[in-house]
Amino acid sequence: MNDKVIGIIGGMGPEATASFYMKIVKRTKVKKDQEHFRVIIDSNAKIPDRTEAILGMGESPVEAMVATAKNLERLGVDVGCIPCMTAHYFIEDIQSDISYPILNAFIEVRKYIATRYPEVKKIGILATSGTIKMKLFEKYLDKIHIIYPNTSSQKEKVMEAIYGDEGIKSGNLEGVPLELLKEAGQELMESGAELLILGCTEIGLALKRNHLPIPLIDPMEVMANVLVKSEK
């Protein structure tokens, strides 16, 4: 039981990686330490910024992500995962160089919505500008109407909440970033969103289900559940 070895291609960012690991721990039903999964984490915070790369403002993270994934490969992981939604833009490049399967959070979210919310027609997305630009959610949720924040809200609220001086990547999970995300989420609701997807791992660190009156889906929670429930 729980014999598979889980590998986390992490560091994007470090707190999101740590939070994802704890989601795996909390969702594993055990009576003693030895019943937990073996989880190997390479929290490589030196991986270049994914959003900057996608927007043409920085170097590609692929080489560093592959090197990180190969570290896990050498240690014998059975399945890998990437607790960074934006980094999934590069998942096919990483998978092509790695022997073990890497779980795709976008695919797992699509399955989750089909099972739990089959009647939903309009979904709001809070994500990085890189994820939005590359239409990652459109790629995987092609039969659902997707609503994003308008241009000013995306820059001044969502990206500021993540990357700003008082943002989540600076270690702030309450106050300014939380209020900005709540405002952006409220705007999506007013535009017709029936549920929200927290399409960036940092967003899920601050914005919780009790903050807005419609369902919120955290892809990291979905992925953790899949890892825990699936057998080797």
| Active site residues per annotation | 84, 200
Please say if the pLDDT value at position 142 is more than 90.
Answer: no
Q: How many helices (H) and strands (E) does the chain have?
A: 12, 7
Tokens of 185: 């989420």
DSSP for residue 47? S
Domains 5-104+221-229 and 105-218 share a fold: yes
Give the C-alpha separation, 144 to 153, whole Å. 22
Question: Selecting from 3.40.50.1860, 3.30.70.120, 2.60.40.10, 3.40.50.620, what CATH number does the domain 105-218 have?
Answer: 3.40.50.1860
Give the C-alpha separation, 12 to 31, whole Å. 31
pLDDT tens digit string along 7-48? 999 999 899 999 999 999 999 999 999 999 999 999 999 999
CATH class of segment(s) 5-104+221-229 = alpha beta
CA separation, residue 158 to residues 15, 145, 218 (Å):
18, 20, 16
CA separation, residue 162 to residues 74, 96, 205 (Å):
33, 30, 10
Nearest residue to 193 (alpha-carbon basis) of 150, 137, 145, 134 = 145
pLDDT tens digit string along 68-122? 999 999 999 999 999 999 999 999 999 999 999 999 999 999 999 999 999 999 9
Domain ranges within the chain, ordered by starting residue: 5-104+221-229, 105-218
3 state DSSP class of 66: helix
pLDDT at 232: 56
